[in-house]
Amino acid sequence: MKRRDFLTLSAGAAAFSILPATVRAALPVPYDRNAEIPFKDKKSFIDWMVANRGEDPKFLAERFDRFQIMVYNKDVLDDRNKRAFLATPREEFVLQQNLGRAYDHAFLDIGYGVTISGPHLVGRMTTAIDVQFGEAVLEVGTGSGYQSAYLANLTDKVHTIEIINPLAQRTRRTYDALIDRGYSVFGSVTSRNADGYYGWESVGPFDKIIVTCGIDHIPPSLLQQLKPNGVMVIPVGPPGAQHVLKVIKQQLADSTFNIVRSDIYNGKVVPFVPFTKLEGDQIVGTHNG
């Protein structure tokens, strides 16, 4: 880290830490979903986020470092996705004991036998379904709530279902607390505690569906509630080594449907991507970084 950055961050952190909790809680300015969050350099990003969102510079620095690696690895591609990632405070969705590892290249335990996927995987999956503003998205398996929070920065119709009741309630409280603090964007997320196997018929059909829980087949109800030519993604395999199955409900000329399975790389074998880390301002390919 450069000395100047260090001093700036230290000063920011010091100033931040003396603010009373109630002041820290509310956003300094109303949340703007379309804000042009600067992402070309770390300092302007942190400055902007501290000024506009009042977030902790420590986590902002970690978020930006992770962001740079994700851009390098092409986990996020377009500017909308990049800003959506940068706008989502992942630290609000991890357990207290994992706060120090919130932005690690790792999935983390969130209780109830559920994990929050690593930021790179969330980035890839979200990029893969290419959510446009106004599209209806269904998430099956709310879990920590981070995926839907990320999606809420891309569209205003996010629906999420969690099967485990206490987890669904906890995540709802997380959203409500954030909304109270001024994260109005999370008002776009409607959540419920139910069996996601049957989808959410009353609010469907959906343009995009993300399934984040294990199942031995694709639930027929979800395919039914997917719009023609809609896309569904499902991670398959053990956590940390998951492959993302992409399913497209292709509408044929005769109006019947054909379900096409592929992965999110559209049939290309993607070479192993090493762990990467920042050394100063440089991203270096390394292992076990």
Q: Which of residues 203-222 bind other proteins (CB under 8 A)?
A: 214-222
Which one of 4-12, 109-117, 141-149, 153-161 is the stretch in contact with other proteins (CB under 8 A)? 109-117
Residue 278 CA to residue 56 CA, distance in Å, equals 20
Residue 201 within binding range of other proteins, rule CB under 8 A: no
Residue 262 within binding range of other proteins, rule CB under 8 A: yes
Nearer to other proteins, 1 or 236 (CB): 236
Rounded to a whole number of angstroms, the minimum distance from the CB of residue 28 to other proteins is 30
Residue 7 CA to residue 25 CA, distance in Å, equals 24
Q: Which structure tokens are listed for 243? A: 């492959």
Which one of 28-36, 88-96, 138-146, 267-275 is the stretch in contact with other proteins (CB under 8 A)? 267-275
- Which residue from 210, 178, 202, 171 is spatially nearest to 87, judged by alpha carbons? 178
Segments in the chain forming alpha helices (H): 3-18, 21-25, 42-53, 57-72, 79-87, 119-129, 146-152, 165-180, 220-225
Nearer to other proteins, 96 or 258 (CB): 258
| Beta bridge mates, 276 | 285
Rounded to a whole number of angstroms, the minimum distance from the CB of residue 3 to other proteins is 29
Residue 287 within binding range of other proteins, rule CB under 8 A: yes
What x/- string results for residues 27 through 46 when contact with other proteins is judged by CB under 8 A? Answer: --------------------
Among 104, 182, 203, 227, binds other proteins (CB under 8 A): 104
End-to-end CA distance of the chain: 16
Among 173, 236, 279, 281, binds other proteins (CB under 8 A): 236
Q: What DSSP designation does 272 have?
A: P
117 has catalytic annotation? yes
Among 223, 227, 277, 283, binds other proteins (CB under 8 A): 223
Rounded to a whole number of angstroms, the minimum distance from the CB of residue 264 to other proteins is 7
C-alpha angle 35-41-43 in degrees, rounded to nearest 5: 90
Among 95, 274, 279, 281, binds other proteins (CB under 8 A): 274
What x/- string results for residues 128 through 157 when contact with other proteins is judged by CB under 8 A? Answer: xxx-x-------------------------
**Cβ 61 vs Cβ 42: under 8 Å:** yes
Query: Which is catalytic among the residues 117, 144, 148, 188?
Result: 117
Rounded to a whole number of angstroms, the minimum distance from the CB of residue 17 to other proteins is 26
Q: Is the dihedral of CA 254, 256, 261, 265 positive or negative?
A: positive
Among 108, 121, 151, 161, binds other proteins (CB under 8 A): 108
Long-range contacts of 273-277 (CB under 8 A, 24+ apart): 273/73, 275/105, 276/69, 276/72, 276/73, 277/69
Residue 95 CA to residue 74 CA, distance in Å, equals 27
Residue 79 within binding range of other proteins, rule CB under 8 A: yes
Q: Is the dihedral of CA 255, 258, 263, 266 positive or negative?
A: negative
Residues assigned a catalytic role:
117
